[in-house]
């Protein structure tokens, strides 16, 4: 590990430059260190729900990143996929293509099938591949995104590699009516129109948003037509308690790829048609001063139609049709406060999956299965002075075939007001493709240790070491099941205090993923990943800018013909026309792939070249 780290020192040069940045302050008086701005919370701490109960971020043992609605707005992003691709440790396989198209991702080398994606605590992973289509999740309704990098099955079930929990916006409680609009237009008729309205009248609150994305395609056969609607309605009961109803609908028609290459016997293209519906009803009731009950019922529906055909002559030679529905309910009791708390819950979910795969000249292959999952869990927080202990235990029964016991034990220790230590051990699972193949769930355990510090002038620093052992994993050839894979590495993050309006965010992740028995390194997963952000903010002028850089080494095979080991840069500028006025219109401009770089994991999914997009945002 040490030798590999030394060899990677040239890749860490941008991080070292970030560390050198505070030297500018030698000629000026050192400003007060705003730890809350940097992410190391003191006093009134940021509270997140990554363990199913609200906790201050300093009492979470896992490596957690939180992205706020304000940060999302500054990126002029369209979908959740674009936002997550700026987070240290996360890399999308097909980044830099048309906004909203299908993509898959990894978190510190754990693939998307091991990452549980939630919206307000309800799973968005489809059953066929056990992965979520993040290109269909609009950023408009997002209040914040909570990301756990590492196993979290003791709280959430099938989350062997991590969790992405989207917390949606609540009704504006201060006004009966308010909202915003967003309009953008870019190359190849790439455009998005969206808006939201929200407010509260007496006991009733509402939030509604909707929009559509269209593009002729920044690459051949990579166009998209997508629309989405989201609504949240809240009613405070006359005595006490609250009812919340949310519903969403999203439709997307997209071109996935087009291949014209002499390496293939035929030129071909791939097209998708997705439709997704979901609804959630939540009842919250305070049973006592520190004891709360929450009951949730949910329903979801997904239809996916994938058509693969020749370009010349135009013929369809393969079609994949997937239709899924799920419904379920859960109940949980939460007792305590931020120092001592215990959350215990029960879950039930029924899934129905129907799939048909048709290849010309071959009989159609059909798969139809219904299955149930039952779960019970308990997670706690126990603080003793500077030390916080975080235990968790969960049992899942997946139909009659598989029983899973997941557990975790974590701890945080606050050395000083500005220094924090974290450590945790977790055992968990992910169902992955077990639904189709009847293979056992993929299982494993993970260990992480980390530290955060705000003691260095101008800086917030965070470091994490991780080690994961997982078994029942697909082999490096994808043909059989192998015994185990080892995934290990480290992640470094730093942020600087704003100086003359400029600040820097940097993150470096090194991941080594190998077959445990053969010690062969698994190809096609990011080995080195660097995320950079240079931020400029001048409230007096109403100007904000962010320059994002993404470096990746894909460790691809020769057949993948990867383009990597370089930086891809995106620039986002926002100008408020009337600085200091909350209701002022904002003009924005985004320049993607500034230097026309090539960066992709496999040649079929190359990224787009330089392209521009501009628009206006208005709040009322």
* 338-352 tens-digit pLDDT: 889 999 999 999 999
- pLDDT for 31 equals 28
Structural domain of 39 = 2-619
- Report the alpha-carbon distance of residue 280 to residue 137 in Å, rounded: 16
pLDDT in tens, 395-413: 999 876 789 999 999 999 9
* CA dist., res. 409 & res. 151, Å (int): 12
The residue with tokens 């450590």 is 423
How does residue 51 score in pLDDT terms, banded at 50, 70 and 90?
low
Domain count, the chain: 1
Question: φ and ψ at 538, to 5 degrees?
Answer: -130, 90
Nearest partner of 392 among 53, 47, 45, 48, judged by Cα:
53
Measured CA to CA in angstroms, residue 93 lies from 82, 179, 253, 394, 600 at distances of 12, 34, 20, 32, 7
Does pTM surpass 0.95? no
Mean pLDDT of 243-247: 98
CATH number of the structural domain spanning residue 266? 2.40.170.20
Task: Report which of 554, 500, 548 is spatially closest to residue 522, judged by C-alpha positions.
Answer: 554
Instruction: Write the pLDDT tens digit of every residue in 376-396.
Output: 999 999 999 999 999 999 999
188 DSSP assignment = G
Structure tokens at 56: 């201050």
Name which residue leads in pLDDT, 43 or 168.
Answer: 168
Of 614, 567, 574, 565, the residue nearest 594 (C-alpha):
567
Please state the φ and ψ torsions of residue 495, each to the nearest 5 degrees. -135, 145
pLDDT in tens, 580-609: 888 899 999 999 999 999 999 988 889 999
């Amino acid at each position: 590990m040490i030798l590999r780290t030394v060899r990677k020192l040239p890749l860490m040069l941008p991080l070292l430059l970030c560390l050198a940045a505070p030297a500018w302050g030698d000629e000026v008086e050192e400003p007060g260190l705003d730890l809350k701005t940097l992410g190391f919370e003191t006093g009134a701490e940021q509270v997140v729900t990554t363990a199913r109960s609200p906790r201050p971020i300093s009492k979470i043992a896992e490596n957690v990143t939180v992205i706020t609605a304000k940060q999302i707005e500054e990126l002029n992003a369209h979908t959740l996929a674009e936002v997550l691709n700026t987070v240290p440790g996360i890399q999308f396989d097909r980044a830099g293509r048309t906004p909203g198209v299908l993509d898959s991702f990894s978190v510190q080398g754990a693939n998307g099938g091991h990452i549980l994606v939630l919206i307000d605590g309800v799973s968005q992973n489809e059953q066929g591949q056990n992965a979520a289509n993040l290109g269909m999740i609009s950023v408009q309704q997002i209040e914040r995104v909570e990301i756990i990098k590492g196993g979290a099955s003791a709280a959430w079930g099938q989350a062997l590699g991590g969790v992405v929990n989207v917390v949606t916006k609540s009704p504006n409680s201060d006004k009966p009516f308010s909202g915003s609009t967003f309009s953008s237009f870019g190359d190849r008729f790439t455009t998005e129109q969206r808006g939201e309205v929200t407010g509260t009248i007496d006991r009733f609150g509402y939030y509604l948003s909707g929009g559509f994305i269209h593009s002729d395609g920044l690459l051949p056969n990579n166009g998209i037509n997508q629309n989405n609607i989201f609504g949240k309605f809240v009613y405070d009961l006359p005595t006490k308690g609250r009812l919340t109803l949310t519903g969403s609908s999203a439709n997307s028609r997209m071109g996935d790829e087009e291949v014209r290459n002499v390496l293939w016997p035929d030129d071909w293209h791939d097209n998708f048609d997705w439709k997704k519906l979901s609804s959630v009803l939540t009842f919250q009731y305070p049973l006592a001063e520190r004891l709360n009950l929450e009951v949730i019922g949910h329903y979801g529906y997904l239809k996916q139609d994938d058509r693969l055909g020749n370009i010349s002559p135009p013929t369809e030679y393969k079609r994949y049709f997937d239709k899924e529905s799920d419904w379920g309910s859960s109940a949980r009791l939460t007792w305590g406060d931020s120092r001592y708390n215990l959350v215990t819950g029960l879950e039930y979910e029924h899934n129905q999956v129907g799939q048909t795969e048709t290849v010309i000249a071959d009989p159609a292959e059909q798969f139809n299965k219904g299955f149930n999952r039952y779960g019970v869990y308990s997670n706690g927080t126990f603080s003793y002075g500077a030390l916080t202990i975080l235990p968790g235990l969960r049992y899942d029964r997946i139909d009659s075939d598989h029983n899973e016991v997941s557990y975790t034990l974590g701890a945080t220790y606050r050395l000083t007001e500005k220094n924090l230590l974290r450590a945790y051990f977790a055992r968990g699972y992910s169902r992955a493709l077990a639904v189709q193949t009847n293979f056992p769930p993929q299982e494993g355990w993970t260990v992480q240790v980390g530290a955060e510090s705000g003691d260095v002038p101008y800086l917030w620093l965070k470091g994490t070491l991780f080690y994961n052992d997982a078994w029942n994993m697909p082999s490096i050839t994808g043909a059989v099941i192998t015994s185990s894979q080892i995934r290990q590495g480290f992640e470094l993050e730093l942020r600087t205090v704003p100086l003359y309006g400029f600040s820097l965010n940097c993150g470096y992740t090194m991941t080594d993923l190998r077959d445990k028995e053969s010690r062969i390194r698994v190809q096609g997963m990011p080995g080195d990943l660097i995320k950079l952000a240079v931020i400029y903010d001048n409230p007096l002028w109403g100007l904000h800018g962010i320059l994002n850089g993404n470096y990746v080494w894909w460790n691809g095979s020769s057949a993948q013909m990867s383009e990597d080991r370089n930086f891809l840069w995106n620039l986002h500028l926002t100008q408020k026309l009337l600085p200091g006025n909350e209701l002022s219109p904002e003009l924005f401009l985004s320049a993607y792939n500034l230097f026309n770089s090539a960066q992709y994991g496999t040649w079929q999914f190359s990224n787009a070249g330089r392209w521009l997009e501009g628009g206006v945002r208005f709040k009322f």
